[in-house]
Structure 1
Amino acid sequence: MQRIITHENWIGDLPAPVRDAVLARTVEVIVEPGEVIAEAGRDANRIFQVVEGYVRLVGLHEDGSEALITIYVAGNCYAETAMVSRRPYNHTSVAMVRSRIRILHERDFWDLYYSHAAIPEALCRKFADAISRQLAAREMRATTRLRQQIANMFADFAERCAGSPAGGPIELDFPFTQSDIASIFDVTRQSVQREITFFKDHGLVEKRGGFWVVINLQQLRRTG
């Protein structure tokens, strides 16, 4: 299925000495909910790694509204594509909850890149994997019913973000809206509302205090 949440931790996968050299050059910052980390159109002079929390990557529709593209979780590294291609950031990243972020500045990135062959190799693998995921997501949208796509998204969120306890509700610990879901799957909000109503009526998903709760993960996986 399309992975809305990504776990691309190429830094963590580096050989230990190289990984330690990279981490030694990073700085950590705390960002508050709604705080912009990197803005589309700005020079790509830093790359980022989420240490704790959730970060949303967003683009803009022609009418100026935001479109959710993906969600970064702990371990995820991002913004390397803009850095390597020496172009501005394509999208804006925003903290969804209070988050801790590692930052690697441009000069340090290139120094490490040219000093350790494992880094460009790791980035090549990441970029190739990203292309494969994009092709798989396009095929999925063309061949899978919207209900199943949304059901899989909620189940994926529950398993990856909140663990998967044996039975019982799972509260997703980051906020997102029906408009976000519509933008992810490139459909109308009314289409999403219809599917959400189905999930609620069947006791699969509900919203409590602004956060989504997956009521029955196993049944949700079978939906669609």
Structure 2
Amino acid sequence: MPLAFDIDLLRRAEMFAGLDSDSLEAVAAAGAVRRLAAGRRVFVQGDAAISCHSLLEGRVKIIQARADGTQAVIRVIGPGEMYGTVAALMNQVFPADAVAVVESVEIWWTLPVFRQLIRRFPEIGLRATAAAGTRLMDLQGRMGEMTGERVEQRIARTLLRLMHKAGRPTDCGIEIDFPITRQDLAEMAGSTLHTVSRTLSAFDQQGVTSSARRKIVVCNPGALTLLAENGAA
């Protein structure tokens, strides 16, 4: 039996925000909705990109293997975001693995079906292109951070991005709403596990954050912003 979902979940997706209800129904009918258990690999780096994906609920992390055998978490996908789609539309291989961080729900389409949707609804293609451009600019900004900022600033800026994207207000502050390890944070900030552990401990002592196993709460967003901007709270 197909997995039922609220069509409004599709409305907030970056590719489909401009479509009316009838168009959204057509897009949903053309795809397949499925639940992803935590840890499930949606696609694998190096495989032919023959499917297009949009997340409805949960979190998916994009993990890229490097030539030296290490790996890096390069992005965390949230509800409404597409993934794998640009590679598919460019007839490329998937540039990274996609792995569900928590139990999630996605909608996906085969590449031929998605191309048909773009021909039928050109707005999808325009929005997909704009989203890809935004990600490229974000990547360029992050590369600039790697070369021009102290590591403490990079870690603070990475935490700020996660807070804005996946923050959930709690009594203690703003909690990043998915399990995140210090190794994950190190990969996203272009740092090492040792440096992230040392820096987070310092942030915790200053009352900027409160971190535990796979959990980070930003207790003082203003102080974290100052650390991201100039390295001092």
TM bracket (short chain): 0.7 to 0.9
Question: Sequence identity of aligned pairs in percent?
Answer: 21
- Map of 1:69 onto structure 2: 74
- Map of 1:196 onto structure 2: 200
Range that drifts further, 54-63 or 119-128? 119-128
Deviations 1:92-112 (CA, angstroms, capped at 9, x unpaired): 000000111111122211211
Q: For 1:111, which of 110, 116, 121 is the aligned residue?
A: 116
- Map of 1:35 onto structure 2: 40
1:23 has 2:28 as partner:
yes
> Are 1:36 and 1:93, in contact at CA under 8 Å, matched by a contact in 2?
yes
- Map of 2:104 onto structure 1: 99
Structure 2, unpaired ranges of 5+: 1-11
Within-5 A mapping of 1:74-153: 74-153=79-158
- Map of 2:177 onto structure 1: 173
Deviations 1:132-154 (CA, angstroms, capped at 9, x unpaired): 22222222333332212212322
Partner letter of residue 210 of structure 2? E
> Are 1:168 and 1:216, in contact at CA under 8 Å, matched by a contact in 2?
no
| Larger RCO, structure (CA 8 Å, separation 6 or more) | 1
Structure-2 change in CA distance of 1:43 and 1:164 (3 Å): same
TM-score w.r.t. the length of structure 2 is: 0.82
> Are 2:49 and 2:84, in contact at CA under 8 Å, matched by a contact in 1?
yes
- Map of 1:5 onto structure 2: none
Partner letter of residue 188 of structure 1? T
Partner letter of residue 34 of structure 2? V
1:187 has 2:191 as partner:
yes
> Are 2:57 and 2:78, in contact at CA under 8 Å, matched by a contact in 1?
yes
- Map of 2:5 onto structure 1: none
Deviations 1:18-56 (CA, angstroms, capped at 9, x unpaired): 444322212111111111011112221211111111000
How far the C-alpha of 1:63 sits from its partner, in A, is 4.2
Matched positions, count: 216
Q: For 1:213, which of 208, 214, 217 is the aligned residue?
A: 217
Query: What CA RMSD, in Å, does the superposition of the two structures yield over aligned residues?
Result: 2.2
Tell me how far apart the structure 2 counterparts of residues 124 and 109 of structure 1 sit (CA, whole Å): 14
- Map of 2:3 onto structure 1: none
SS of the aligned residue for 2:67 comes to coil
Range that drifts further, 87-96 or 57-66? 57-66
> Are 1:158 and 1:164, in contact at CA under 8 Å, matched by a contact in 2?
no
Structure-2 change in CA distance of 1:195 and 1:208 (3 Å): closer
Partner letter of residue 61 of structure 1? R
TM-score w.r.t. the length of structure 1 is: 0.85
Partner letter of residue 175 of structure 1? P
Structure 1, unpaired ranges of 5+: 1-7
Partner letter of residue 149 of structure 1? R
> Are 1:37 and 1:95, in contact at CA under 8 Å, matched by a contact in 2?
yes
Partner letter of residue 72 of structure 1? I
SS of the aligned residue for 2:62 comes to strand
Range that drifts further, 180-189 or 34-43? 180-189
Range that drifts further, 204-213 or 192-201? 204-213
Tell me how far apart the structure 2 counterparts of residues 101 and 197 of structure 1 sit (CA, whole Å): 36
Q: Which runs of structure 1 show a deviation greater than 6 angstroms over 4 or more consecutive aligned residues?
A: none
Range that drifts further, 128-137 or 66-75? 128-137
